[in-house]
Structure 1
Amino acid sequence: MIIPLLYLFLRAGQAEPDQLMELVFRPRNFQLLLNTLALAGGVLFICTFLALPLAWLVTRSDIRAKRLLTIMAVVPLAVPGYVMAYALLGVGGNLGVLSQVFGIQVQNISGYWGAVWALALYTFPYIFLNLRAALLGLDTSLEESAQSLGYSRAEVFRKIMLPHLMPALLAGYLVVGLYVLGDFGAVALMRYEAFSYAIFTQYSGAFDRIYAAWLSIMLLVLAASFLVMEAYLLKRKRLASVGSGVARSAAPQRLGKLALPAWIYIGFVFAASIGLPIAMLSYWVIVVPPDISVFLQVPWTFLRSAAAAAPAAVLAATMALPVCYLSVRYPSRLTSAIEQSTYIGYALPPLTLALAMVFFALQTAYFFYQTLGLLIFAWTLATLALAMGPIRSAIIQTRPNTEEAAYSLGYGPVSTFFYVVFPRLRRGILASLALVFLFCMKELPITFLLAPTGYSTLAVTVFSRTSEGLMAEAAPFAAAIVLFSGLSVGMVLNREKIKGSQ
């Protein structure tokens, strides 16, 4: 896990002192910082606008079909940011759907607002799920007490509910913010100059890899500042109830005349996040279909993607298993440090991780450069933390006395693990394999930099053809990603265990 950080700093350290000052203090770097922060701020604002009212409606109002609405609010996770960007780009312009079907000339959606909406429409479910869980767990007696003291509904929300929702908001903001910092596909397709786009163009176009390394370090510092900021804002916050009694569920509030505006709002959210990409893909696949040879390439591209994703999933689960077992059964400072180190790859912006692995291969393992093995290894580092969750939960749920019984019968540590513990971990291991596999199938930034020449996955094919304006040729591959990503959404819903009563 330390390899990416080590080689990134080694490559950046090759700059001469004079060159270093010029690289770090370039005016362009400050502009990239402002652009990246503006992008993150815009995405978080739109995500809040989309997620907060929706979470309140499905938890606190008397609106109908709450279970269906909750499921639909999670479905946009099946549409990756670069596919959402593809859908937005297909709306306007001379060759867009509005022009071709309705004869309406609309300027193409691109640049800052194109990137903001593409990323927000994909990532807002992360914030929605956090807020929904927080609202369901909030003690309503706090709100009732405030109302009995004469507070209006707006004051109750601002002074009582919002502070209690802040941890959930910040958790969602952290996930979305880190994703936005590391996103490459939507930003590149929209031609918006953020750090990730600048790193790629500097690496692939200018071949100035020292500058690309310093840009990556700047992006890494920015990502770390997000983590520090979240920890600081939540420091010493105590939001649990300290009185006696049990928290009560909130009685649904009647919408009354606000029911119609609420349904209009819900219709707008789902039309933009689900309807738009489906409509665009349907148009390019059905109404203006590409040549049949393009459709024939989809299965082979899918298998090519799976051929790299499957080994990465197996390797990630294999690496996660001993770390989880050590951290749960033998807790100590050392095992805690080992466990925490697994999050390095997940916290690193994907392009930064990919660039570091390029430096590693060129300087230490040249035989590894431009090979499928390097891509699989990088995917493993990026997803190790993802694989840890289900396996760790399965080990925690396995009672230690079963192992003690095996020891008393004469079994050694190794045989006890394989005959007693491992069979009870199969479900967690399978969940880890599925999560990592699905992540790798739609991953773009790492694949784009590390895949061997000519090795195109579904994600790379969609990005490459969309960036060249070949919308119809990209549509079948984008549709395959959306259909396959629906499996990951199903897994999210299954793990979240949505109940109709909620």
Structure 2
Amino acid sequence: MRPAHIPGADDAGRTTLSVPRPAHAGRPRPGSPAPAGRRRDAARPPWALLLPAGVAALFAVLPLGYLAVRSLERGPGFAWNVVADERTVTLLGHSLGLAAAVVGACLILGVSLAWLTVRTNLPGARAWSVLATLPLAVPSYVAAFAWLSAAPRLAGFTGSALALTLVSFPYVYLPVAAALRGIDPAQEETARSLGLGPVRTFARVTLPQLRPAAAGGGLLVGLYVLSDFGAVSLMRYDTFTRAVHTSYRAGFDRTPAAALSVVLVVMTVALVAAEARTRGRAGHARTGTGTARPATPAALGRLRAPALAWCGAVTAAAVAFPLATLGYWLAIGNSATWDPTGLLDTATNTLGIATAGAALTTVLALPVGVIAARHRGRTAHLLEQASYAGHALPGITVALALVFFSVRYAYPLYQQLPLLICAYAVLFLPVAVAATRAAVLQAPPVLEDVARSLGRSPLRTLRDVTVPLAAPGVAAGAALTFVVCMKELPATLLLRPTGTDTLATRLWTETGAGSFAAAAPYAAALILLAAVPSYLLGKHRT
């Protein structure tokens, strides 16, 4: 229901005040801040924000500079020989084939589950919606461990595709479900009234409106598959990430690893471009104000039992089976196969390192997020885009860049915890920047204008006004960053100090040696620790 119209209120119902304009309103007084809209949209951000944001941006693009220098260190000819090698072509086919298979399977799972839980009278639709998001808490290497321990013959392409699909389909389900809730059902009802059946209505009316959401989710899945290291390593399936790690470990010459990483970056850029082309320029928007009328749930009829079986099968494979497998190996384990004291020490290390990584990432993301939310222009755009550079790079490439930097310019940091924490900041800076930007956008900018008009400097305004207002959203971003830092594997394997283990690295080590009973406690502890902030995030959002 639209709010009653109030004199002096705008179309959205917000009360406005009509104040006589002073004669000097068009001329800012000397020493006063620029008008709010002009200052945010055109003026350059203050130096108090530009300097730390510039440091964060340079930090994020460091791996790209490393790849450019390292891959050409022995000349373009040598790099081309590595890229054009027959094995590289094979790796290209493996990586693209795996990505295509997983993206296709995730689109089928995500779209079908979203339609069943949002647009039909599926029994227990709300519970199925929750269960469809739970696989996000399961790292890919934990899913691979569960399936490999139960069926060793799955090793290779089949096992890799299965494990990655079951942990990735929520990236498609979530945006598609949100899009389905926002689509005005009147369009579908009009199509039905014109004689189109349910299938043709879905194909010609609903599906085009879901295409941007599905394409965006498919892009996230594709990027995740290309950068994944844990699942393909445990399944012993050669992709670029595994080949880069093997090349790095094989000798002192890092040029082949850098050249392979460049190919991986090119594949990532091509995938992003393909997603933008698939999404197209067409848009679907509702005219008028207010919210869409909820769609009438479609009656499943005889399809109710198959629909329930489909939802149950996906949930069983993605959630129940990994948990049951971990429970089995925990039950048969004993003091000879796993050490509770070692588990506690490893969990403590994981919490400490992830906390430090989340803290540094949040600090670096704060000025970038504020600039992205409050300012426009080339400078703000470049800073925001530079902070997303790590999103296009797998953890192993970022780790190689930091190893190169530390050995040549900061050797005391080599194989020390600060270097690992810096890797987390590069990898997950986009997560924290996105959360900070969204939180600052929700904070009323007029309060910042009042603080500036009272003589507060930009830095004091940020500290006393902006940060407290955006604190809940920034904290949510920090919690999400903490979760992904805990689960990160390839960078941790390369950069952790000798003798320091995390739950992820210990799980990978035990599974690689075939000690499934010894690996199960670390997998269970990792899921348990990741579930706590994930639950808090979900509770905060609801």
TM-score by length of 2: 0.85
Corresponding residue of 1:62: 121
Of 278, 281, 295, 2:323 maps to 278
The Cα shift of 1:446 comes to: 1.1
1:321-400 alignment runs, 5 A limit: 321-400=366-445
Deviation sequence 1:84-116 (CA, Å, 0-9, x none): 0000011125xxxxxxxxxxxxxx221001000
Corresponding residue of 1:104: none
Deviation sequence 1:36-84 (CA, Å, 0-9, x none): 0110011112212322221111111111212111111111111110000
Distance 1:51 1:407, change over 3 A: closer
Contact conserved, 2:333 with 2:518, CA < 8 A, in 1? no
The Cα shift of 1:389 comes to: 2.5
Distance 1:117 1:334, change over 3 A: same
Of 80, 83, 99, 2:142 maps to 83
Q: Distance in 2 between matches of 1:245 and 1:196?
A: 47
Corresponding residue of 2:214: 169
Contact conserved, 1:325 with 1:392, CA < 8 A, in 2? yes
Corresponding residue of 2:272: 227
Q: Distance in 1 between matches of 2:388 and 2:303?
A: 44
Distance 1:467 1:293, change over 3 A: closer
The Cα shift of 1:149 comes to: 2.3
Of 169, 174, 184, 1:129 maps to 174
Which structure has the bigger radius of gyration? 2
1:95-106 alignment runs, 5 A limit: none
Letter in 2 for 1:10: V
Corresponding residue of 1:197: 242
Q: Distance in 2 between matches of 1:331 and 1:18?
A: 42
**Residue 163 (structure 2) pairs with residue 113 (structure 1):** no
Deviates more, 1:259-268 or 1:390-399: 390-399
**Residue 364 (structure 2) pairs with residue 319 (structure 1):** yes
**Residue 112 (structure 2) pairs with residue 53 (structure 1):** yes
The Cα shift of 1:429 comes to: 2.8
Distance 1:205 1:395, change over 3 A: same
Letter in 2 for 1:117: L
The Cα shift of 1:410 comes to: 4.2
Q: Distance in 1 between matches of 2:200 and 2:110?
A: 20
The Cα shift of 1:408 comes to: 4.1
**Residue 319 (structure 2) pairs with residue 260 (structure 1):** no
Corresponding residue of 1:96: none
Letter in 1 for 2:74: A
The Cα shift of 1:292 comes to: 7.5
**Residue 205 (structure 2) pairs with residue 160 (structure 1):** yes
Letter in 2 for 1:320: A
Q: Distance in 2 between matches of 1:265 and 1:493?
A: 25
Letter in 2 for 1:356: A
The Cα shift of 1:440 comes to: 0.7
The Cα shift of 1:291 comes to: 3.2
Distance 1:290 1:152, change over 3 A: farther
Letter in 1 for 2:529: F
The Cα shift of 1:399 comes to: 2.0
Q: Distance in 2 between matches of 1:59 and 1:262?
A: 13
The Cα shift of 1:346 comes to: 2.0
The Cα shift of 1:338 comes to: 0.5
Aligned residues: 483
Distance 1:412 1:45, change over 3 A: closer
Q: What 5-or-longer segments of structure 2 have no aligned partner?
A: 1-59
Q: Distance in 2 between matches of 1:224 and 1:12?
A: 18
Secondary structure at the aligned position of 2:248 is classed as helix
Deviates more, 1:238-247 or 1:438-447: 238-247
The Cα shift of 1:294 comes to: 1.5
Contact conserved, 2:448 with 2:465, CA < 8 A, in 1? yes
Q: Distance in 2 between matches of 1:154 and 1:408?
A: 59
Contact conserved, 2:143 with 2:167, CA < 8 A, in 1? yes
Secondary structure at the aligned position of 2:506 is classed as helix
Deviation sequence 1:277-296 (CA, Å, 0-9, x none): 11110001123445375222
Corresponding residue of 1:12: 71
The Cα shift of 1:242 comes to: 5.4
The Cα shift of 1:481 comes to: 0.8
Corresponding residue of 1:420: 465
TM-score by length of 1: 0.92
Letter in 1 for 2:382: A
Q: Distance in 2 between matches of 1:83 and 1:276?
A: 11
Corresponding residue of 2:348: 303
Corresponding residue of 2:507: 462
Distance 1:294 1:142, change over 3 A: same
Contact conserved, 1:127 with 1:172, CA < 8 A, in 2? yes
Contact conserved, 2:373 with 2:438, CA < 8 A, in 1? no
Of 99, 117, 121, 1:40 maps to 99
Distance 1:238 1:390, change over 3 A: closer
Contact conserved, 2:79 with 2:255, CA < 8 A, in 1? no
Deviates more, 1:180-189 or 1:145-154: 145-154
Distance 1:244 1:276, change over 3 A: closer
The Cα shift of 1:492 comes to: 4.9
Superposed CA RMSD in Å reads 1.9
Q: Distance in 1 between matches of 2:453 and 2:194?
A: 63
Contact conserved, 1:126 with 1:172, CA < 8 A, in 2? yes
Distance 1:413 1:26, change over 3 A: closer
Q: What 5-or-longer segments of structure 1 have no aligned partner?
A: 94-107, 498-502
Deviates more, 1:381-390 or 1:18-27: 18-27
**Residue 66 (structure 2) pairs with residue 21 (structure 1):** no
Deviates more, 1:412-421 or 1:269-278: 412-421
Corresponding residue of 1:443: 488
Identity among equivalent pairs (%): 40
Contact conserved, 2:110 with 2:170, CA < 8 A, in 1? yes
The Cα shift of 1:457 comes to: 0.6
The Cα shift of 1:244 comes to: 9.9
Of 133, 136, 147, 1:74 maps to 133
Deviates more, 1:270-279 or 1:354-363: 354-363
Secondary structure at the aligned position of 2:150 is classed as coil
Letter in 1 for 2:263: M
Corresponding residue of 1:211: 256
The Cα shift of 1:409 comes to: 3.9
Letter in 2 for 1:474: A
Letter in 2 for 1:400: P
Q: Distance in 1 between matches of 2:466 and 2:97?
A: 49
Deviates more, 1:231-240 or 1:130-139: 231-240
Contact conserved, 1:379 with 1:440, CA < 8 A, in 2? yes
Secondary structure at the aligned position of 2:339 is classed as helix
Q: Distance in 2 between matches of 1:237 and 1:86?
A: 42
Q: Distance in 1 between matches of 2:477 and 2:283?
A: 33
